[in-house]
Amino acid sequence: MDINENENKKGKDDIEFKIITLGNPGVGKTSIIQRYVSDDFNINQLSTLGISYSFKVMQVKERNLRFKLIDTGGQEKYRSLAVSYFRHVDVVLFVFDLNNKSSFDSVQYWIDLFNEHNNNKNIKAKYIIGNKNDLEQKVDQNLIDELTTRNDNIKYWSTSAKTKSQIDYLFSLIGFDLYEYLQKKENNKNEPNSNKSKTLSKNHGSKKKGFC
Ligand SMILES: Nc1nc2c(ncn2[C@@H]2O[C@H](COP(=O)(O)OP(=O)(O)OP(=O)(O)O)[C@@H](O)[C@H]2O)c(=O)[nH]1
Ligand SMILES: [Mg+2]
């Protein structure tokens, strides 16, 4: 894969995308981000107070994608703070703990909460993440498949922040989703039948008429 990553400050050609984590307390949201950004894991990771940010740049082909990672605290008291970010995010990761069934049972709640407060205009990719795949899986795979099928345009991925299993690959997939989005956007802009081109040719046509 043609991907390079670094933590540079925002460069002039970087395109920023906001990625948010959501899910019950203790499922490993912070640990996933910490593993990805710093290749670090803390067995005594403290619960996130409110919101925390980190950044990482991924180069996909000729593009520099700058990820702004918005990590939310899963505790109830931070819910309205988290909700206030929903409208502006590009990618959402709904995280649960594969070893904890009740964290899985809450995922639909998080999806509904997100869908209710996100206008769906900005969102480019949605993932359900089953984290802690180094531990015994206590969530039936059929239930995970059902949940994924029941919700539109959502992908499932299993990770371990502890062993680093599938973490880098997850962010590569996100990088490619965003790259594809940018390509499509550009193609639409250059498309002769796009709305913009239609407006331009209409204006151009009427101007010409005026000169006759
Ligand atoms: N075995 C195992 N433990 C993990 C993994 N990821 C996180 N943990 C542990 O799970 C606990 C909670 O991890 P956090 O990353 O703080 O969870 P969180 O979702 O950010 O929790 P809040 O900030 O309270 O919402 C910590 O003790 C981590 O070390 C994993 O993949 N495997
Ligand atoms: Mg946290």
| pLDDT tens column, 80-120 | 999 999 999 999 999 999 999 999 999 999 999 999 999 77
Pocket of ligand 1 (CB under 6 A): 23, 25-31, 42-45, 47-48, 73-75, 131-132, 134-135, 160-162
CA atoms within 13 A on the CB side of 199: 4
For residue range 44-81, what is the model confidence (pLDDT) as tens digits?
999 999 999 999 999 999 899 999 999 999 999 999 99
Q: In this structure, which residues have their CB less than 5 angstroms from ion ligand 2?
A: 29-30, 48
According to CATH, the superfamily of the domain at 3-211 is: P-loop containing nucleotide triphosphate hydrolases (3.40.50.300)
Indicate the angle between helix axes 29-38 and 167-190, nearest 10 degrees.
80
Question: Which of 31, 76, 102, 136 to probe ligand 1 with, by most ligand atoms within 8 A of CB?
Answer: 31
Output the CA torsion 46→47→49→53 (10° steps): 80
In a 10 Å sphere around its CB, with 0-12 CB exposed, 13-18 middle and 19+ buried, how is residue 15 labelled? middle
Domain locations in the chain? 3-211
* Neighbour count for residue 184 (Cβ, 10 Å): 10
Q: If you average pLDDT over residues 2-10, what whole number do you get?
A: 52
